[in-house]
Structure 1
Amino acid sequence: MKKHFIIALLAVATSSFAQSKLKPSLSQKADALKSKVIAWRRDFHEHPELGNQEFRTAEIVAKHLKSLGIEVQEKVAYTGVVGVLKGGKPGPVVALRADMDGLPVTERVNIPFKSQVVTYYNGQKTGVMHACGHDSHMAILMAVAEILASEKANLAGTVKFIFQPSEEGVYNANGESILSGAELMVKEGVLENPKVEAIFGLHISAGSENGVLEYKPGATMAAVDQLDIVVKGKQAHGANPWLGVDPIVTSSQIITGLQTIVSRNVNITEDPAIVTVGAIHGGIRQNIIPESVKMIGTIRTFGVEQRELVHKRIKEIATNIAESAGAKADVTIGTGYPVTFNNVALVEKMLPTLQAINGKERVRQIPAHTGAEDFSFFQQKVPGFFFFLGARPADKKSVNEVAAHHTPDFYLEESEFQVGVKALSHLVVDYFEKK
């Protein structure tokens, strides 16, 4: 028995040593693939596809993974691609994720690989653009797959590469949100067979210093919910408002009332929250008080109790203000993405990996983002670590000088993409070693 135990310990020690020896090779190969990553990214950028329509994109990804000898499953959650790389030695299963979809945004940036794609979205003609960096995420993960596949015999575990569709969400003809790519992938069992033990994801950040890695333990990105309010009044001539119930005036009072939720109801010393009305639709003529007004908006929260409180107050404020005016408010809150929550223990364990490949001074803890990410659906099932890679152009000194994500002028500096390649590949190997 003692002999067998010693042999097992030696096997573990040998495996860990082998994983450590891999790391210099991973970094060298990441640097060697720099131009390839940029070329992949530019091709994806020039040919963006909206959520659940990533047919060309998925074909390129699948072809690349197959060429590396990776087991590939296609059409996961409609257009997703999943690759499984089984290492030469037994060990845990780690997943890496990249999102694939573009946005209904018409690009204004004058670059050789500018998107010229045009489509119809929600009944409107629009351009299509990778205005959030998903093109770079795919290119980086394709390089990671190539590097790890080249070291297959030395890997002490299994890597699952998840190329996910529709991170930006998908909406039906009525403008109602349906399952995101991550949520549907989870429902279809992407974290099973083989069962994933931990998952890592990276997001490019146009406003952050080029090549810097950023992270936050715990709540990292907000939960997001869709808000719909229909205020029903009584139509009347604009010259005789006393004969009707004005839903426009009532809506304006509701909007003002909603602002008190964050300023007066939420404990902002614990977590921030946001209630934004993004559009108001009502009326057709200057001298007619309409019968109804529709408002749509977004809600961002960082905790379960906070989320429940904000939802409750929205309904109370809207319905009570409407009632006081003689109107009626129908409030619908569509549940979106949960909080992107980085497993604290996993962050603590893997942070040294990021610091080792990029230097402690270029790995920085940041405040929470009020943006949202459906990576959170993976994190609800297994421990996850989602972090950011800066890609701010050198001539821009601060985030205020940079075009925001989801805008026509969005632009990324490409020179440090290999930092992301190193980060993801080293996280895999170090996780195997630590296990």
Structure 2
Amino acid sequence: MEDVAALYRSSAILTEASALKEQVTAWRRDFHRHPELGLEEERTAEVIAAHLRRLGLEVKQGLARTGVVGVLRGSNPGRTIGLRADMDALPIQDQKQTSYRSTIDGKMHACGHDAHTSMLMGAATFLAKMRPPERGNIVFVFQPAEENHGGARLMIEDGLLRDYGIEAMAGLHVFPGVPTGEITAVRGVSCAAADTLFIRIIGSGGHAARPHQSVDAVAVAAQVITALQHITSRQVDPLDSVVITIGKIEGGTASNVIAPEVNLWGTVRTLNPALREQLPQQIERMVKGVTEANGAAYELEYQQGYPSVVNDVSMIDLLLEVADDVLGRGKYRMDRPSMGGEDFSYYTQHVPSVFFRLGVGDEQHARYPLHHPMFDLDEDALPIGVALLSKLALTYLGKS
């Protein structure tokens, strides 16, 4: 394998990473067959840890319950960069008819975390088989529970950044809307803060034939849902992105019974931190006004979830430099922020970080979006991810 200096001078790293495609694909398909939900990734963690030990890395298990960390130390002291992959699957039934479809009912890698894990294993393999970096350290972070428990926050609380002296973080997410061989990234705020909302509308039940003798919680809930959209369209600066979505409604028992209560669950997504702080009060003011006007009462719970992913400008510049070398000029696009949530955001709050989208789109394999029961990806993208993560780490350390 070529030495580090040669890899800095050319895109040979992609050629070398391509030699790992068969192995990385095999890992990805194995994880796809055996999906595990957040904080349950015990089999996945054992497969990862065993491989990292075979590579001769320092390995620690148990951060955030099922997290795995591997460390590749350079020949001399220097900076330390962390490369992160998430491991968890989703509670979705896999509807694909492939040899590697999920073998576990109701669980599926529908967000590409199996690919993220496999590519980082590939990067660890590639970097461990080279001579050690001249200076600095690379920490391979296999993180649980991105989808629902904030595994990144749990890893940090368990000492990940502090104990390993991580000074920068990098991560990627596969994306079927971007062609294979290309990437997209965002300067600054990249993903939205994602908060959760619960509202209980409290009326008084009765007979459907005599609505004037009751307070119809269903009718009030309908007005509340409509009123919440007036916040986004009439009370927020149109240049500030915000989404308020009620995704679940529960209430009523029969067609001829006026429901005494209705429960609403929703999500609130923002890019502006100041607006994020204002919205709970605006939402409660609206709910209170509608319910009082109709003689109903309410209960409201608002919980802040993942903060926004904020890409560091210097780390974005590093990514673009690496992309030019590995993929060729013009293979990246500066994109708009996403309203999706991502717990990589917790890393960005502590150290300069970069998070980008890796194209996995082709007409045959990537016809469905993330979180779809038919989701799949173009496995030709796997060695590209290996090469980009590896080169990012080497280039970062080379600038120290």
Counterpart-to-counterpart distance in 2, 1:238 and 1:350: 62
Counterpart-to-counterpart distance in 2, 1:21 and 1:227: 53
1:417-432 aligned within 5 A = 417-432=382-397
- Tell whether the 8 Å contact from 2:153 to 2:346 is kept in structure 1 after alignment: yes
Counterpart-to-counterpart distance in 2, 1:262 and 1:385: 29
Pick the aligned partner of 1:315 from 275, 284, 303.
Answer: 284
1:121 equivalent in structure 2: none
Task: Measure how far apart 1:242 and its partner are.
Answer: 1.1
Task: Measure how far apart 1:284 and its partner are.
Answer: 0.6
Pick the aligned partner of 1:75 from 45, 52, 62.
Answer: 62
Task: Measure how far apart 1:393 and its partner are.
Answer: 1.8
Counterpart-to-counterpart distance in 1, 2:58 and 2:101: 33
2:5 equivalent in structure 1: 20
Task: Measure how far apart 1:168 and its partner are.
Answer: 0.3
1:409 equivalent in structure 2: 374
The residue type paired with residue 6 of structure 2 is K
Pick the aligned partner of 1:212 from 162, 182, 187.
Answer: 182
- Tell whether the 8 Å contact from 2:96 to 2:374 is kept in structure 1 after alignment: yes
1:398-426 alpha-carbon deviations (Å, 9 max, x no partner): xxx93121111111111121111111100
1:317-374 alpha-carbon deviations (Å, 9 max, x no partner): 1111011111112111111100011012321244211221112211111111111100
- Tell whether the 8 Å contact from 1:319 to 1:330 is kept in structure 2 after alignment: no
Q: How many residues align?
A: 396
Q: Which runs of 5+ in 1 are unaligned?
A: 1-17, 119-126, 171-179
1:132-211 aligned within 5 A = 132-170=111-149, 180-211=150-181
The residue type paired with residue 21 of structure 1 is A
1:91 equivalent in structure 2: 78
Task: Measure how far apart 1:27 and its partner are.
Answer: 3.1
1:108–1:421 Cα change, 3 Å: same
The residue type paired with residue 63 of structure 1 is A
Counterpart-to-counterpart distance in 2, 1:345 and 1:311: 34
1:175 equivalent in structure 2: none
The residue type paired with residue 115 of structure 1 is S
1:35-85 alpha-carbon deviations (Å, 9 max, x no partner): 111111011001101111111100000001010011111011011101111
Task: Measure how far apart 1:152 and its partner are.
Answer: 4.2
- TM-score, with length taken from structure 2: 0.96
SS in 1 for 2:342: coil
- Tell whether the 8 Å contact from 2:133 to 2:394 is kept in structure 1 after alignment: no
Task: Measure how far apart 1:395 and its partner are.
Answer: 4.6
Question: Taking every aligned residue pair, what percent have the same amino acid on both sides?
Answer: 39
Structure 1 residue ranges (4+ consecutive) displaced by more than 6 angstroms after TM superposition:
none
1:393 equivalent in structure 2: 362
- Tell whether the 8 Å contact from 2:38 to 2:144 is kept in structure 1 after alignment: yes
2:42 matches 1:55? yes
Counterpart-to-counterpart distance in 2, 1:44 and 1:423: 21
1:383–1:74 Cα change, 3 Å: same
Pick the aligned partner of 2:216 from 239, 246, 253.
Answer: 246
Counterpart-to-counterpart distance in 2, 1:98 and 1:67: 19
Counterpart-to-counterpart distance in 1, 2:329 and 2:289: 53
Counterpart-to-counterpart distance in 2, 1:86 and 1:154: 7
1:117 equivalent in structure 2: 104
- TM-score, with length taken from structure 1: 0.88
The residue type paired with residue 31 of structure 1 is S
| Deviation larger for 251-260 or 304-313 | 304-313
2:328 matches 1:367? no
